[in-house]
Amino acid sequence: MVSYKSIKAEILNGIVGRQWAPGELIPNEEDLARDYGCSRSTVNRALQELADLGILERRRKAGTRVAQRTSRGALIQIQIVRSEIEQSGRRYGYVLLHREVQAADSATAGLIDAPRGKPLLHLRCLHLADGVPYQLESRWISLVALPSARDVDFESVGPNEWLVTQVPYSRSEHIFSAAPPNAEERERLRLRPDEPVFVIERRTWLAAQALTYVRLAHPGLSYRMISREDDLLDETES
């Protein structure tokens, strides 16, 4: 029996082997089904998944063509900082530096995308790997969206870990940047002179409601964010 996976693999081979150039039309589903001796449904599934991956482009009546991949995607997996550190074989450490309930002023309201005046929980924490400063976290949590956060002291469990167990989110935004450190970062992260910080900012929402904004600062000389794209031609996987 011809599987949709084998068809995926054959089409991919045809693409990387330049049998079909980018932009070129490939045969329609019926023809492929006849070629491979299977039903159109099977071909359809294979082509749809390749289209989902951005490798093919399909339009009704117009047919299926090899996509012009002018932009390259990189999928970043941002883990809980504890598991990130522990997976690299180091010991995780955590310190809560500051905890305060405040009303959203114009600056913080813009960051978290919540109305001014609403109550926010502001936290600052330091995460360490083998005792060395790894990440300085500055977080605001909307107490309108997450009132239960008011009763958590965050002394022993980081806000990151607490949030993922509590809250689903439906939308998120990440911003990555390189910045000169401010005074607190220079001290807490024990930065060397001229060492910049790598900054990750994240905002999450559930439907229209803002949940949290966080700024994560890492020492620039030791932190790397890595993204690997699996080999398309490895047929051992989905």
Partner DNA sequence: ATCGATAATAAGTCTATACATAATCCCGCG
Partner DNA sequence: CGCGGGATTATGTATAGACTTATTATCGAT
Q: Which residues bind DNA (CB under 7 A)?
A: 1-5, 28-30, 37-42, 44-45, 47-48, 51, 58-64
Nearest by Cα to 202 from 215, 211, 218: 215
Least distance between DNA and beta carbon 68 (Å): 16
Contact between residue 66 and residue 83 where contact means Cβ atoms under 8 Å apart: no
Q: How many residues sit in the footprint of a second copy (CB under 8 A)?
A: 58
Rule CB under 8 A: say whether 231 interacts with a second copy. Answer: yes
- Tell me phi and psi for residue 100, to 5 degrees: -160, 135
Residue 51 binding: pick among DNA, a second copy, none (C-beta 5-8 Å cut-off by kind): DNA
Of 60, 229, 236, 237, which one interacts with a second copy (CB under 8 A)? 229
Least distance between a second copy and beta carbon 200 (Å): 9
Nearest by Cα to 43 from 83, 79, 6: 6
Rule CB under 8 A: say whether 71 interacts with a second copy. Answer: yes
Least distance between a second copy and beta carbon 237 (Å): 12
Of 168, 183, 236, 237, which one interacts with a second copy (CB under 8 A)? 168
Q: Return all residues near 187 (Cβ < 8 A) that are at least 6 apart.
A: none
Tell the residue number behind the tokens 């005046």, with chain if given: 117
Cβ proximity to DNA: between 32 and 81 the closer is 32
Tell the residue number behind the tokens 């310190």, with chain if given: 95
Cβ proximity to DNA: between 12 and 38 the closer is 38
Residue 18 binding: pick among DNA, a second copy, none (C-beta 5-8 Å cut-off by kind): a second copy
User: How many CB atoms lie under 10 A from the CB of residue 100?
Assistant: 9
Contact between residue 111 and residue 143 where contact means Cβ atoms under 8 Å apart: no
Least distance between a second copy and beta carbon 22 (Å): 7
Rule CB under 8 A: say whether 183 interacts with a second copy. Answer: no
Alpha carbon dihedral 73, 74, 80, 86, in 10-degree steps, equals 160
Rule CB under 8 A: say whether 146 interacts with a second copy. Answer: no
Contact between residue 101 and residue 119 where contact means Cβ atoms under 8 Å apart: yes
Q: Helix crossing, 29-36 with 4-16: angle to 10°? A: 110
Rule CB under 8 A: say whether 28 interacts with a second copy. Answer: no
Contact between residue 181 and residue 197 where contact means Cβ atoms under 8 Å apart: yes
Instruction: Note the residues at the interface with a second copy (CB under 8 A).
Output: 12, 15-16, 18, 22, 52, 68-80, 83, 164-165, 168, 170-180, 194-199, 202, 205-207, 218, 220-221, 223-233
